[in-house]
């Protein structure tokens, strides 16, 4: 049953209010204006008043425009025809191809039963030592990349997408700059990965509310493919824009803000998206990598802060390098025990020494005399940064481990490091 | 009894407004009737003929005009044999059974029995006909795994009763009447093994509450030695993300010397529960020889599950914990994370349009947190036995700042504070409990003078470390430098503990006392008389290496003794070298 309203009672921000009956919560509606039609979603019901958020924004909407309730919530098409396609934030084609109409699935579907989850056990190799060696990426993990604007986070995402062994890449752009969108497209095209990619792109010039649906659409499609046995990698850039869109909506709806204007349910909103990352027993998986830009490089800002509590670690991108401090893969313990016996020891030992190097570097900068030990640390720090941290380094894990021992042996005596004697006996280069 | 009905008039997120007829109860459960689904919800505010309900499911697709059926019951959990080793959602639906019936995804509007109604338990009666009983009196027991699960007079029976009839020793289902009791007026009540209890009301069917005194051994060195927890006490673990709160909770749930562990995974990652869920059925409990799952109950309402159920989940966990305490058992409730629970309260308060307090948390935040922790305690029961409930909650402070409302409200009411530090976590020093900031009001199992002596070294070492950043190593006196090296050493070999090593991950109280006494007496309180800083550093590095290997050696084995001898001989060499100067 389709119901039509022709009288819009109020337009505040991106929220429209109409009088209608029999409307379901979160139902989708179509708004027809002289500039074309767009979608809106029910966000509040109060007796016969219906409040809708207009995805294209409220600009140009007349109080006399027609609102048609579609009788279903937000949906997205799902079929193998999606591969290689590009859509916008409302799920409409952006590449001139046909629009999706068959096999529609609801977005933001039910939650996976925790009892059906399995312990992830597959490492996703990226050939980036700061990831593979120090913070291994694991299939079904959800990890954000924390960075300030201007860092090469999209380049890092694209590189991981190309090098990771996955069946399917789904890119969700939220407030993505147009040139970055083109960059993703051309990089994946050159790498021959476009035919196994699906793009849902909301660019910086599109109305901000439209970006709200992008993560849900990406994840709904990913979930279907994963249930079909596909290893899926979902890339989202940038989730701070998503949170800002939430903030805008919350303030328009006069919700009490909790922290810097963000709504009190920011944590739950972000979690319901990130928690879609899963490894289905006997089927495929969803791994989520998302960019979270930190305004003012402030990790205590509500968006990175809430994200950090939800995700299974984070990669901290700073000065074009993945920082060893602050970066963390919580699932690494599940995979790095099965790689090589020295993996964990090198991982911890090298970072501890690098932390000491940082202290020494501080002392040196303040003009203190350097002891022998300090000089050893300084040498070590330089080697570590050049051979491990530099994003140009592109080597498999085992090579990175060997390099680690070489760096250590080039700077220290075994007993100055913190390694167990049996590992030193076996791996220390002599 | 006729059940009252109502009709939805407004929907906002997970909050619905309902116009109702007749009388309803605050915190009563209502069901939204949606085709063949019944969506559970709870009354949280009543204004005239309009009730505000929080819905425990997603509200997508609900309409104004949808019908509500009230249940005439407050939100309750089912108590009885069969709770142990279960995995529940925040409303006590068994998740594995849901998975078996509905597959990968959680169904909407489905309620299952929390405990099996068909399984038979061998009931052994204690009580005799004619005996006088009150709420909480023990009638008999069944064997639930390794525990004697006591069958008690339901806690809601408010009078004194006489046993009229009690079943013979035999196998019964939980709903079978095992006892008939009579009140003074001669009215008879049937008592079964299982009964319901509203989650938001603490169980107080005991004689008196005692003061917590006996230390609880978590087998985590920094906690047991420096910042101990008492049986029946409370503690909190605030820490920024990535500082290792959950890992610390997981280690505690594994190694703590306690009868029953209840894990409330409240609004955190599903993945973390999965590790517990999949590994506990395989891991052996060294105390009993049975698998850990046999002593564990998991209440799991992870971050993407409905928020209202998250609010209830900590109460569900506390109620089940109190129930087992009534049997004279020592129970540990681990809530991870209480901040998510507080945030759930905040979301609901926001939807109710209440006047917000600090950071938009409701004004009653502090009292709710206090009420929750106050459900802990060591109690003397009617039969003279003693049971305890210890509550440990993690706090996830926004921005990692302990100044925020949830941390502050929690610190006021807990007996120990294990503050985790990001700096320590970044430097891979685990557990990242900050030894300078944390505190405990409980007594340690280790002699206090040793602990104080070690703490002094830590404070001194930290001061010297700060100073050295300004004046450099060369500007530091030999004595100060020695303190610095000692504090670094103490941190590396004792405070830090490798949670992934089979031996080092759990240190018994006995072993802690032994190595700590040695550490303080033989190394920390010894004067080294440093001449050359470089040489002193080398000595401490060598000591550290041997000591860490000592930590990896199994308690009281040949290897354990050898490592100690190695340390002793190194110390002897050092004093020999000194006397030569």
From first to last of its 430 residues, chain A has per-residue pLDDT tens of: 568 888 999 999 899 999 999 999 999 999 998 888 889 999 999 999 999 999 888 888 999 999 999 999 999 988 888 999 999 988 889 999 998 888 899 998 899 999 999 989 899 999 999 999 999 999 999 999 999 988 999 999 999 999 888 999 999 999 999 999 999 999 999 999 999 999 999 999 998 888 999 999 999 999 999 999 999 999 999 999 999 999 998 998 888 888 889 998 899 999 999 999 999 988 999 999 999 999 988 888 999 999 998 999 999 999 999 999 888 898 898 898 889 999 999 998 999 899 899 989 988 998 888 888 999 999 999 999 999 999 889 999 999 999 999 999 999 998 888 788 889 999 999 8
Question: What local confidence, expressed as pLDDT, does residue B389 receive?
Answer: 98
Decide if A26 is inside a domain: yes
Q: How far is CA B442 from the centre of its chain?
A: 17
A395 C-beta neighbours (distance < 10 Å), count: 17
Task: Say how many C-beta atoms besides its own lie within 10 A of residue B374's C-beta.
Answer: 13
Residue in the structure block whose two tokens are 């313990």:
A333
Determine, yes or no, domain membership for A165.
Answer: yes
CATH number of the domain enclosing B489 = 1.10.1140.10
Residue written as token pair 């009617």: B382
Residue B199 lies in a domain: no
> B33 pairs with which residues across the strands?
B38, B67
Secondary structure class of B344 (helix, strand, coil)? helix
- Say how far apart CA A170 and CA A263 lie, in whole Å: 28
Pair (A109, A218) in one structural domain = yes
* Residue B60's CATH number: 2.40.10.170
Q: Which of B436, B457, B432, B454 is nearest to B444 (CA)?
A: B454
Q: Is residue A336 included in any domain, yes or no?
A: no
Q: For the segment B383-428, what is each residue's pLDDT rounded down to a tens digit?
A: 999 999 999 999 999 888 899 999 999 999 999 999 999 889 888 8
Domain match, A320 and A348 both: no
- Chain A residues lying within 8 Å of B303, measured CB to CB: 267-268, 271-272, 275, 310
Verify that B212 and B295 share a domain, yes or no: yes
Q: State whether B429 and B558 are in the same domain.
A: no
**Among the residues of B73-212, which ranges form H helices?**
95-102
CATH number of the domain within which A68 lies: 2.40.10.170
Residues forming beta bridges with residue B191, ordered by sequence position: B179
| Chains A–B, number of C-beta pairs less than 8 Å apart | 212
- Same-domain status, A65 and A81: no
Regarding whether B131 and B66 lie in a shared domain, the answer is: no
Contact of B339 with B393, CB cutoff 8 Å = no
- Whether A112 has its CB under 8 Å from any CB of chain B: the answer is yes
Final residue of a domain: which of A330, A365, A382? Answer: A330
User: Do A414 and A377 have their domain in common?
Assistant: yes
Strand-pair category, A168-176 with A197-203 = parallel
pLDDT in tens, B162-209: 999 999 999 999 999 999 999 999 999 999 999 999 999 999 999 999
Task: Note whether B298 and B263 are same-domain residues.
Answer: yes
> What phi and psi values does residue A227 have, to the nearest 5 degrees?
-65, -25
Q: Domain check: are A218 and A353 in the same one?
A: no
* Helix axes of A266-274 and A302-310: crossing angle, nearest 10 degrees: 40
> Do A152 and A67 sit in the same domain of this protein?
no
| Domain contains A422 | yes
- Tracing tokens 């925790």 back to the chain, one arrives at A114
What is the rounded distance in angstroms from the CA atom of residue B262 to the CA atom of residue B90?
Answer: 13
Whether residue B464 is found in the same domain as residue B529? yes
Closest CA to B286 of B217, B212, B185: B217
User: Which pTM was predicted?
Assistant: 0.91
Quote the tokens at residue A426. 């076996």
CB contact under 8 Å between A308 and B241, yes or no, is yes
Check if A264 contacts B (Cβ < 8 Å): yes
Residues of A in contact with B544 (CB under 8 A): 418
Q: Which residue has the tokens 């944390």?
A: B438
Our separate counts of H helices and E strands in chain A read 12, 23
Distances (CA, A) of B104 to A223, A280, B107: 11, 8, 9
Residue B322: its H or E element: helix B307-325
Same domain, A49 and A148: no
Q: Is the peptide bond before B337 cis (omega within 30 degrees of 0)?
A: yes
pLDDT band at B578 (very low <50, low <70, confident <90, very high): low
Measured CA to CA, the distance from residue A351 to residue A334 in angstroms comes to: 19
> Do A112 and A49 reside in the same domain of the chain?
no
Same domain, B432 and B515: no
Give the residue from B160, B193, B226 where a domain finishes: B193
Interface of A with B in 334-373 (CB under 8 A): 344, 348, 351-352, 355, 359, 362-363, 366, 368-369, 371-373
The yes-or-no verdict on residue B2 having pLDDT over 70 is no
Contact status of B34 with chain A (Cβ, < 8 Å): no
Q: Is residue B234 part of a domain?
A: yes
Query: Are B152 and B243 contained in the same domain?
Result: no
What is the rounded average pLDDT of the residues B515-527? 94
Please tell me whether residues B230 and B306 are part of one structural domain: yes
Give yes or no for a contact between B234 and B376, defined as CB atoms under 8 angstroms apart: yes
Rg, chain B, Cα only: 27
At which of A268, A296, A330 does a domain end? A330
> Cα(B364)–Cα(B369) distance, rounded to whole angstroms?
9
Mutate to test the interface with B, among A283, A309, A364 (most CBs of B within 10 A): A309
B201 domain residue, yes or no: no
Domain check: are A55 and A125 in the same one?
A: no
Q: What is the model's pLDDT at position B1?
A: 47
Kindly report the CATH number assigned to the domain that includes residue A90: 3.40.50.12240
Domain count, chain B: 4
Cβ count near B258 (within 10 Å) = 20
| Alpha carbon B238 to chain centroid, angstroms | 13
Instruction: Kindly state the tokens that stand for B188.
Output: 């008879």
Name the β-bridge partners of A176.
Answer: A203
Flag whether B200 is in a domain: no
Nearest residue to B313 (alpha-carbon basis) of B200, B182, B433, B438: B200
**B281 touches A: beta carbon within 8 Å:** no
Question: Per the structure, how many domains does chain A have?
Answer: 3
Same-domain pairing of A180 and A53: no
Q: What is the pLDDT of residues B51-60, one digit of tens each?
A: 999 999 999 9
CA-CA distance, B132 to B121, in Å (whole number)? 25
Q: Which of A256, A276, A302 sits opposite B356 (nearest CB)?
A: A256
Residues in chain A: 430
DSSP, res B316: H
Q: Do residue A321 and residue A349 come from a single domain?
A: no
Is B68 in contact with B102 (CB distance < 8 Å)? no
Q: Specify the pLDDT at position A147.
A: 93
Domain span including residue A27 = 3-73
DSSP state of B495: I
Q: Are A19 and A49 in contact (CB under 8 A)?
A: yes
Is there a domain that residue B358 lies in?
A: yes
Q: Indicate the pairing of strand B330-336 with strand B260-266.
A: parallel
Tell me which of A118, A264, A346, A362 to substitute to probe the interface with B (most B C-beta atoms closer than 10 Å): A264
User: A351, B541: Cβ pair inside 8 Å?
Assistant: no
- Buried b vs exposed e over A309-344: b needs ≥16 C-beta within 10 Å? bbbbbbbbbbeebbbbbbbbbbbbbbbbeebeebbb
* Nearest-angstrom CA–CA distance, B28 and B44: 8
Residue finishing a domain among B193, B218, B233: B193
Q: How far is B98 from chain A (nearest CA, A)?
A: 8
Count the alpha carbons within 13 Å of B570 in the hemisphere toward its beta carbon. 19
* Residue B106 to residue B91: CA distance in whole angstroms: 13
Q: Model ipTM?
A: 0.87
Within this chain, do residues A177 and A299 fall inside the same structural domain, yes or no?
yes
Cα R_g (chain A), whole angstroms? 25
Quickly tell me which residue has 């005692």 as its tokens.
B210
Percent of chain B's residues with pLDDT above 90: 80
- What does DSSP say about strands A86-88 and A197-203: parallel, antiparallel, or unpaired? parallel
Q: Which of B524, B530, B528, B522 is nearest to B495 (CA)?
A: B524
Structural domain boundaries enclosing B144: 121-193
Query: What SS3 state is found at B560?
Result: helix
Q: Which of residues 141-200 of A touch B (CB under 8 A)?
A: none
In a domain, B26, yes or no: yes
DSSP conformation class of A385: I
Q: Does B472 touch chain A (CB under 8 A)?
A: yes
User: Span B376-380, mean pLDDT?
Assistant: 97
Note whether B94 and B160 are same-domain residues: no
Q: Which residues of B touch A118 (CB under 8 A)?
A: 274, 278
User: Considering the domain boundaries, does residue A68 fall inside one?
Assistant: yes
B282 to chain A, any CB pair closer than 8 A? The answer is no
**C-alpha distances in angstroms, A399 versus A393, B47, B109?**
11, 69, 53
pLDDT of residue A80: 85
- Does B498 map to a domain? yes
Q: Which residues contact A189 (CB under 8 A, 6 or more apart)?
A: none
| Distance between CA atoms of residues A327 and A51, nearest Å | 42
Cβ-defined contact of B277 to A114 (cutoff 8 Å): yes
Q: Please indicate, yes or no, if residue B220 is contained in any of the structural domains.
A: yes
- Closest residue in B to A361 (Cα) is B469
CB < 8 Å from A in window 182-241 of B: 240-241
CA distance A138 to A145: 15
Banded pLDDT at B579 (limits 50, 70, 90): low
Q: Where are the alpha helices (DSSP H) in A91-195?
A: 129-132, 153-163, 178-190
* Chain A (23-62) residues lying within 8 Å, Cβ to Cβ, of chain B: 23-27, 44-48
Q: Which of A330, A360, A376 is the last residue of a domain?
A: A330
**Are B289 and B232 in a shared domain?**
yes
Average pLDDT over residues B85-99: 94
Q: How far, in Å, CA of A334 to CA of B229, rounded?
A: 30
Here the CATH number for the domain that contains residue B171 is 2.40.50.100
Domain match, B400 and B483 both = no
Q: pLDDT, tens digit, for every residue of B325-374?
A: 999 999 999 999 899 999 999 988 988 888 989 888 999 999 999 999 99
> Does residue B199 sit in helix, strand or coil?
coil
- Does A138 reside within a domain? yes
Work out the angle at residue B62's Cα, subtended by the Cα atoms of residues A62 and B340, and round it to the nearest 5 degrees: 100
Residue A192 burial (CB < 10 Å; 0-12/13-18/19+)? exposed
Examine the fold and report which residue of B383, B412, B440 is the final residue of a domain before the chain moves on: B440
Q: Are residues B229 and B277 in the same domain?
A: yes
């Amino acid at each position: 049953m389709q119901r039509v309203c022709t009288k819009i009672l109020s337009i505040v921000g991106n929220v429209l209010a109409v009088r209608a009956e029999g409307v379901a919560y979160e139902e989708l509606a179509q708004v027809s204006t002289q500039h074309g039609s767009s979608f809106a979603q029910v966000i509040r019901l109060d007796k016969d008043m219906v409040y809708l958020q207009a995805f294209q924004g409220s600009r140009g909407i007349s109080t006399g425009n027609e609102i048609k309730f579609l009788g279903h919530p937000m949906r997205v098409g799902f079929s193998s025809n999606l591969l290689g396609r590009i859509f916008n934030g409302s799920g409409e084609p952006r590449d001139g191809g046909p629009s999706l109409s068959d096999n529609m699935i609801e977005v933001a579907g039910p939650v996976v039963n925790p009892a059906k989850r399995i312990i992830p056990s597959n490492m996703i190799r990226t050939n980036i030592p700061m990831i593979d060696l120090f913070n291994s990426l694991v299939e079904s993990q959800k990890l954000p990349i924390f960075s300030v604007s201007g860092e090469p986070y999209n380049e890092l995402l694209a590189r991981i997408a190309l090098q990771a062994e996955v069946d399917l890449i789904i890119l969700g752009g939220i407030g993505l700059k147009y040139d970055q969108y083109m960059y993703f497209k051309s990089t994946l095209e050159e790498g021959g990965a476009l035919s196994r990619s699906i793009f849902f792109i909301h660019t910086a010039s599109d109305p901000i509310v439209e970006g709200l649906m992008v993560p849900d659409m990406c994840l709904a499609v990913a979930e279907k493919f994963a249930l079909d046995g596909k290893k899926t990698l979902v890339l989202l850039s940038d989730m701070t824009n998503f949170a800002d869109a939430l903030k805008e909506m919350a303030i328009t709806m006069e919700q009490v803000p909790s922290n810097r204007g963000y709504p009190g349910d920011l944590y739950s909103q972000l979690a319901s998206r990130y928690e879609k990352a899963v490894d289905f027993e006997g089927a495929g998986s969803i791994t989520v990598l998302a960019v979270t830009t930190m305004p003012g490089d402030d990790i205590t800002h509500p968006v990175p802060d809430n994200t950090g509590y939800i995700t299974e670690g984070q990669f901290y991108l700073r000065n074009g390098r993945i920082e060893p401090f602050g970066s963390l893969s919580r699932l690494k313990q599940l995979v790095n025990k099965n790689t090589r016996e020295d993996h964990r020891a090198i991982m911890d030992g090298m970072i501890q020494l690098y932390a000491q190097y940082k202290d020494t570097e501080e002392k040196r900068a303040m003009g203190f005399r350097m002891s022998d030990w300090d000089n050893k640390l300084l040498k070590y720090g330089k080697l570590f940064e050049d051979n491990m941290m530099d994003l140009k380094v592109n080597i498999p894990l085992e090579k990175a481990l060997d390099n680690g021992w070489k760096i250590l042996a080039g700077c220290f005596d075994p007993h100055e490091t913190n390694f167990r004697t049996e590992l030193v006996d076996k791996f220390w280069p002599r | 009894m006729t059940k009252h009905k109502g009709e939805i008039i407004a929907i906002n997120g997970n909050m619905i407004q309902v116009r109702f007829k007749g009388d309803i109860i605050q915190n009563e459960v209502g069901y939204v009737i949606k085709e063949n689904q019944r969506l559970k919800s709870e009354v949280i505010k009543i204004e005239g003929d309009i009730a505000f309900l929080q819905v425990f499911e997603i509200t997508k697709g609900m309409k104004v005009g949808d019908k509500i059926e009230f249940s005439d019951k407050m939100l309750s959990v089912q108590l009885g044999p069969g709770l142990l080793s279960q995995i529940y959602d925040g409303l006590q639906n068994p998740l594995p059974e849901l998975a078996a019936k509905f597959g990968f995804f959680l169904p909407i509007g489905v309620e299952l029995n929390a405990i099996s109604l068909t399984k038979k338990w061998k009931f052994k009666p204690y009580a005799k006909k004619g005996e006088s009983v009150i709420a909480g009196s023990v009638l008999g027991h069944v064997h639930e795994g390794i525990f004697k699960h006591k069958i008690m007079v339901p806690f809601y029976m408010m009078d004194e009763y006489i046993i009229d009839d009690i079943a013979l020793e035999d196998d019964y289902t939980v709903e079978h009447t095992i006892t008939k009791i009579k009140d003074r007026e001669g009215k008879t009540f049937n008592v079964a093994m299982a009964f319901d209890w509203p989650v938001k009301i603490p169980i107080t069917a005991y004689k008196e509450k005692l003061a917590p005194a006996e230390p609880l051994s978590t087998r985590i060195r920094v906690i047991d030695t420096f910042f101990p927890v008492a049986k029946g006490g409370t503690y909190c673990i605030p820490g920024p993300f990535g500082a290792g709160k959950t890992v610390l909770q997981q280690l505690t749930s594994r190694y703590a010397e306690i009868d029953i562990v209840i894990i409330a995974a409240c609004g955190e990652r599903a993945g973390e529960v999965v590790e517990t869920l999949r590994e506990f059925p395989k891991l052996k409990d060294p105390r009993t020889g049975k698998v850990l799952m046999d002593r564990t109950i998991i209440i799991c309402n992870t971050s993407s599950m409905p928020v209202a159920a998250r609010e209830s989940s900590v109460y569900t966990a506390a109620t089940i914990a109190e129930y087992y305490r009534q049997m004279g058992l020592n129970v540990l409730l681990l809530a991870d994370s209480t901040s998510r629970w507080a945030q759930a309260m905040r979301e609901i308060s926001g939807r109710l349009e209440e006047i917000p307090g600090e950071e938009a948390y409701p004004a009653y935040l502090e009292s709710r947190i206090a009420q929750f922790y106050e459900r802990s305690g060591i109690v003397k029961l009617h039969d003279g036995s003693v049971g305890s409930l210890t509550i440990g909650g993690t706090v996830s402070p926004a921005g990692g700042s302990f100044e925020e409302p949830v941390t502050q409200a929690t610190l006021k009411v807990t007996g120990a504070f294990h503050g985790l530090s990001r700096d320590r976590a970044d430097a891979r020093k685990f557990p990242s409990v900050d030894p300078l900031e944390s505190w405990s009001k409980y007594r340690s199992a280790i002699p206090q003078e040793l602990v104080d002596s070690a703490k002094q070294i830590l404070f001194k070492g930290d001061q010297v470390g700060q100073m050295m950043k300004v004046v450099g190593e060369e500007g530091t006196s030999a004595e100060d430098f020695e303190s610095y090296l000692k504090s670094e050493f103490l941190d590396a070999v004792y405070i830090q503990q490798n949670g992934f090593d089979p031996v080092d991950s759990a240190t018994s109280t006995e072993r802690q006392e032994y190595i700590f006494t040695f550490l303080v007496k033989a190394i920390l309180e010894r004067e080294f008389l440093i001449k050359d800083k470089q040489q002193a550093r080398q000595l401490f590095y060598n000591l550290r290496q041997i000591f860490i290997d000592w930590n990896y050696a199994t308690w009281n084995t040949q290897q354990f003794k050898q490592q100690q001898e190695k340390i002793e001989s190194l110390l002897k060499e050092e004093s020999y070298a000194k006397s030569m100067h």
